[in-house]
Chains A and B, each alone.
Chain A
Amino acid sequence: GNSVTQMEGPVTLSEEAFLTINCTYTATGYPSLFWYVQYPGEGLQLLLKATKADDKGSNKGFEATYRKETTSFHLEKGSVQVSDSAVYFCALPSTLTGNQFYFGTGTSLTVIP
């Protein structure tokens, strides 16, 4: 079945540092891929998504490229801010049921001034 493996955290960076959070996936077919973010005390919200191979999703300075050859969807940001401190989840839906999502374990990011 479909699954995602996400980089273990926690990650601590200084403001303006470069961020990479690794995500690899296993899937039958070619499902869309997602990154969700969870800020303290809140639920998850969609950060970005990519719907097919070689697509790049982007939002709020974050980017991730759907790479079929390496089965990866790594999240990157060139210059993080304190307000980016949150937990980040990689996710993909089931190719069978479509609306059942598989989430990674989450990577906690803390950005210090």
Chain B
Amino acid sequence: ETGVTQTPRHLVMGMTNKKSLKCEQHLGHNAMYWYKQSAKKPLELMFVYNFKEQTENNSVPSRFSPECPNSSHLFLHLHTLQPEDSALYLCASSQSGHYNEQFFGPGTRLTVL
């Protein structure tokens, strides 16, 4: 247990569906992240939130919409996804600031049909 939980662990959705991924951290951190992990590719940072404010958006398509209502919760809202969006989506948290270790959740395995 890393102190970061993600739900659901597995999700299958059609291209017209709308779904949301949830992340919660119990570590008292003030920075949270979404990553995409695809086979044979480096881990891709999608979004960064510091103190509930989005500070990074690495050219992520608008069909992915993050939400950070407080420093403990992070959501990723999904709509009209494509099959190539199928991947493992990892949430992480850390203390804000330089070079602090990131703690990862177990991920949500997403399959888009």
Contact = CB atoms under 8 A, between A and B. Distances in A.
Partners in one complex: yes
Interface stretch (B14-22, B59-67, B68-76, B100-108): B100-108
B104 A99 contact: no
Interface residues of B, number: 29
A31 B106 CA distance: 26
A24 interface: no
Interface of A is mostly: loop
B4 interface: yes
A51 B48 CA distance: 23
Contact of A101 (B40, B45, B50, B106): B45
A105 B56 contact: no
Given A31-B99, A42-B106, A43-B4, A100 B56 contact: yes
Interface of B: 2, 4, 6, 31, 33, 40-43, 45, 48, 50, 55-56, 90, 92, 94, 96-107
Interface of A: 31-32, 34, 36, 41-46, 49, 51, 89, 93, 97-106
